[in-house]
């Protein structure tokens, strides 16, 4: 098992390096650079100075080597567009807000999604089922920013602020006030996906013989759901949760923009537009890391949870 984890981590490092290298060279192969991102042409001296300061005057290969050397030291470089701030600082300062929003959204999505999914499956064809399907269709088809705009229009302005974010260390009430609507906006997609998955998963499980057996044993309905249905139905959810977590944590930049949340998402978009190379690389690598890390954790969790997967790993080893 340890070796399995080690191997997965090895893959993570190699994948990250490939992503980094591909991003680096694609970025540099685009015509234009950070000194040309605004409409007005900079004085030649200023442009040259900036290029020298950023090392853009060196050959691309050399820049790549320098970048890797700095990366090995844990230095992601100073942002081009935000003088005085390094990519490290920006990620440290900004990621907590993205993480908080993302985790809250995932938890809310999971709780509501699973609950709705189970209820819908158990009451198939009844109003709760239709409601779940309705929510699922809405959640999948309405982009989160439209939902966010609707919330801003109809739910915000009174108790809930339209924009802003509670600074770290503020009261629970403040945290709730500022994060409720963005969290709901970011969670709507998750609620839809999880409830749909959970519904069909529960329906599958309900058709199994062991449920019939449990019923015939005289177990209560609640016991059956808790001990047999839930446990078996929830496994497929794990498969989709990992990439969803990564997606929500890294991909809420539209929500961040609309609610003016000081998260990392904005930098991801702005750095691309401003050709802010250190920030492009830092955010790409950082987001890739989170994504791949979630996948690795999922693989490992799966091996722990599902005996068949675990058996497969051990047998694979024996064959060799």
Q: With beta carbons less than 8 A apart as the criterion, state whether 274 and 81 touch.
A: yes
Q: What's the CA angle centered on 288, arms 314 and 114, to 5 degrees?
A: 70
d(CA 264, CA 312): 39
Burial of 12 (0-12, 13-18, 19+ CB in 10 A): middle
Nearest approach, Cβ of residue 287 and other proteins (Å): 17
Nearest approach, Cβ of residue 258 and other proteins (Å): 5
Which residue's CB is nearer to other proteins, number 50 or number 301? 50
Nearest approach, Cβ of residue 292 and other proteins (Å): 26
Sequence-separated (6 or more) residues with CB below 8 Å from residue 71: 20
Instruction: Mark the segment that binds other proteins (CB under 8 A) among 44-52, 100-108, 219-227, 286-294.
Output: 44-52
Nearest approach, Cβ of residue 41 and other proteins (Å): 4
Which residue's CB is nearer to other proteins, number 87 or number 229? 87
Which residue's CB is nearer to other proteins, number 44 or number 209? 44
Which residue's CB is nearer to other proteins, number 53 or number 311? 53
Q: Is 57 in the site for other proteins (CB under 8 A)?
A: no
Instruction: Mark the segment that binds other proteins (CB under 8 A) among 99-107, 120-128, 160-168, 294-302.
Output: 160-168
Q: Is 169 in the site for other proteins (CB under 8 A)?
A: no
For residue 173, CA distances in Å to 128, 133, 179 come to: 31, 33, 10
> What per-residue string of b and e applies to 99-117 under the rule 16 or more CB within 10 Å gives b?
bbbbebbbebbbebbbebb
Write the interaction track for other proteins spanning residues 197-236; mark x where CB under 8 A is met and - where it is not: ----------------------------------------
Write the interaction track for other proteins spanning residues 245-264; mark x where CB under 8 A is met and - where it is not: -----------xxxxxxxx-
Q: Is 167 in the site for other proteins (CB under 8 A)?
A: yes
d(CA 270, CA 272): 5
d(CA 145, CA 280): 24
Q: Is 33 in the site for other proteins (CB under 8 A)?
A: yes
Instruction: Mark the segment that binds other proteins (CB under 8 A) among 153-161, 193-201, 229-237, 311-319.
Output: 153-161
d(CA 12, CA 295): 9
Beta bridge partners of 78: 86
Q: Is 1 in the site for other proteins (CB under 8 A)?
A: no
Tokens of 296: 């690795």
User: Pick from 21, 37, 208, 223: which binds other proteins (CB under 8 A)?
Assistant: 37
> What per-residue string of b and e applies to 26-64 under the rule 16 or more CB within 10 Å gives b?
ebeeeeebbbeeeeeeeeeeebeebeeebebeeeeeebb
User: Pick from 3, 31, 61, 319: which binds other proteins (CB under 8 A)?
Assistant: 31
Where residue 204 falls (left for φ over 0; alpha for ψ -120 to 50; beta otherwise) is alpha
Which residue's CB is nearer to other proteins, number 29 or number 207? 29
Nearest approach, Cβ of residue 160 and other proteins (Å): 11
Tokens of 73: 């030291």
Contacting residues toward other proteins, per CB under 8 A: 30-34, 36-46, 49-50, 53, 79, 81-85, 93-94, 97, 149, 152-153, 156-157, 162-165, 167, 256-263, 266, 272-273, 275
């Amino acid at each position: 098992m340890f070796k399995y984890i080690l191997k997965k981590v090895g893959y993570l490092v190699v994948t990250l390096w490939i992503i980094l290298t591909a991003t680096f060279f694609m970025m540099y192969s685009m015509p234009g650079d950070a000194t040309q991102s605004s409409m007005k042409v900079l004085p030649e001296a200023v442009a040259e100075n900036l290029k020298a300061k950023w090392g853009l005057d060196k050959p691309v290969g050399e820049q790549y080597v320098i970048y890797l050397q700095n990366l090995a030291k844990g230095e992601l470089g100073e942002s081009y567009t935000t003088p005085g701030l390094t990519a490290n600082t920006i990620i440290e300062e900004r990621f907590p807000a993205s993480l908080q929003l993302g985790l809250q959204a995932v938890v809310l999505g999971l709780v509501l999604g699973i609950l709705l999914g189970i209820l819908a499956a158990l009451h198939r064809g009844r109003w709760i089922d239709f409601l779940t399907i309705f929510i699922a269709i809405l959640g999948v088809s309405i982009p989160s920013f439209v939902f966010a705009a609707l919330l801003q229009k109809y739910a915000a302005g009174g108790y809930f602020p339209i924009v802003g974010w509670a600074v770290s260390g503020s009261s629970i009430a403040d945290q709730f006030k500022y994060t409720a609507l963005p969290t709901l906006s970011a969670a709507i997609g998750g609620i839809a996906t999880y409830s749909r998955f959970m519904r069909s998963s529960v329906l599958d499980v309900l058709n199994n013989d062991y449920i019939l057996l449990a019923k015939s044993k005289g177990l209560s309905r609640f016991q059956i759901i808790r001990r047999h249905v839930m446990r078996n139905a929830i496994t497929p959810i794990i498969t989709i949760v990992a990439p969803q977590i990564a997606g929500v944590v890294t991909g809420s930049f539209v929500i961040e923009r609309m609610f003016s949340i000081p998260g990392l998402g904005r930098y991801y978009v702005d750095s691309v537009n401003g050709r802010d190379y250190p920030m492009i690389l830092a955010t790409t690598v950082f987001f890739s890391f989170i994504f791949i890390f979630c996948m690795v954790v999922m693989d490992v969790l799966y091996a722990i949870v599902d005996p068949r997967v675990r058996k497969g790993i051990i047998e694979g080893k024996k064959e060799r």
